[in-house]
Amino acid sequence: MSLFDLLRNLRRVQTSREDFLMSGEPPRYVAVIMDGNGRWAARRHLPAIAGHREGARALKRIIKASHNAGVRELTVYAFSTENWQRPREEVDALMDMFAELIDREVPELNDERVRVSFIGRRRELSERLLGRIRWAEELTAGNREMTLFIAFNYGGRAEIADAAKAAAAAGFDGGEEDFGRFMYAPDMHDPELLIRTSGEQRVSNFLLWQCAYSELYFSDRMWPDFRDEDLAAAFNDFSRRSRRFGAR
């Protein structure tokens, strides 16, 4: 056997071992921290809300692209429990935008058989927005194509604290697996992949319980600039990861 053949055979062995370790599959459960709207707007000398509006367009594209790629659950971070600390005008404009977006986009999502479900604390939200949220959830409750979880007034620590309270009230003394049923969306799967845009590499209080073993992917794109090909690059990267969950 020539040296060339030997090397080729070695590579084949190595490739099949890598194939074994790598999932090779696109993710089914995906979470996204849609970050960078403010910077996108600031670079264009526009107010933050202009970035949020462009971010909403990016979300629409990414829902479609995820659906086409076979994603079953997409969980997006739309507003955190900490985002109330932003300037009043930005928060008010965001709340108005969310209400409008629900009215405009949910019928279309419903036509695509997408179920829409919100996670987060509801008590601080206006009656107007709450009405919209309930309407969207009821309208789409029976859809099975894909689920879009929207994290709104969401905080990972708030969720765990709320779950602990609910568990105590129910006299819960079960184990780790069963505790998940006290989360905001007990039917949500743990994300296999968590994507964050804008170059920041932190979790910012998102899905602290559910992301225990999620693969993390950071993109330098600002969220409004995030395109189908960026999503494809993230999925491609994921398909080459070796997930071990602490096992050998």
Choose, from 19, 35, 187, 220, the residue flagged as catalytic.
35
35 counts as catalytic:
yes
**Separation of alpha carbons 127 and 154, rounded Å:** 17
Choose, from 37, 68, 83, 205, the residue flagged as catalytic.
83
- Supply φ then ψ for residue 211, to 5 degrees: -95, 20
| Binding segment (CB under 5 A) for Mg ion, from list 21-29, 31-39, 66-74, 108-116 | 31-39
143 counts as catalytic:
no
> Is 204 a binder of ligand IPE (CB under 6 A)?
yes
Q: Work out how close the CB of 35 gets to Mg ion at its nearest, in angstroms, rounded to a whole number.
A: 4
The structure tokens 């590579």 sit at 11
**Of positions 78, 125, 150, 188, contacts ligand IPE by CB under 6 A:** 78
**Separation of alpha carbons 83 and 60, rounded Å:** 22
> Is 79 a binder of ligand IPE (CB under 6 A)?
yes
> Is 35 a binder of Mg ion (CB under 5 A)?
yes
Give residues with Cβ within 8 angstroms of 56, minimum separation 6: 97, 101
Smaller CB separation from ligand IPE, 26 or 191: 191
| Binding segment (CB under 6 A) for ligand IPE, from list 13-21, 79-87, 106-114, 183-191 | 79-87
**Separation of alpha carbons 76 and 148, rounded Å:** 8
For residue 127, give the 3-state DSSP assignment: helix
**Separation of alpha carbons 245 and 22, rounded Å:** 13
- Supply φ then ψ for residue 150, to 5 degrees: -110, 115
Contact 166, 195 (CB under 8 A): no
**Separation of alpha carbons 52 and 93, rounded Å:** 9
Q: Work out how close the CB of 248 gets to ligand IPE at its nearest, in angstroms, rounded to a whole number.
A: 35
Residue 105 interacting entry, from ligand IPE, Mg ion, none, C-beta within 5 to 8 Å by type: none
Smaller CB separation from Mg ion, 27 or 156: 156
Nearest partner of 138 among 106, 181, 108, judged by Cα: 106
Residue 78 interacting entry, from Mg ion, ligand IPE, none, C-beta within 5 to 8 Å by type: ligand IPE
Which residues between 20 and 59 bind ligand IPE (CB under 6 A)?
Answer: 33-39, 48
Which chain residues interact with ligand IPE by CB under 6 A? Answer: 33-39, 48, 77-80, 83, 198, 200, 202, 204
Which chain residues interact with Mg ion by CB under 5 A? Answer: 35
- Name the residues annotated as catalytic: 35, 83
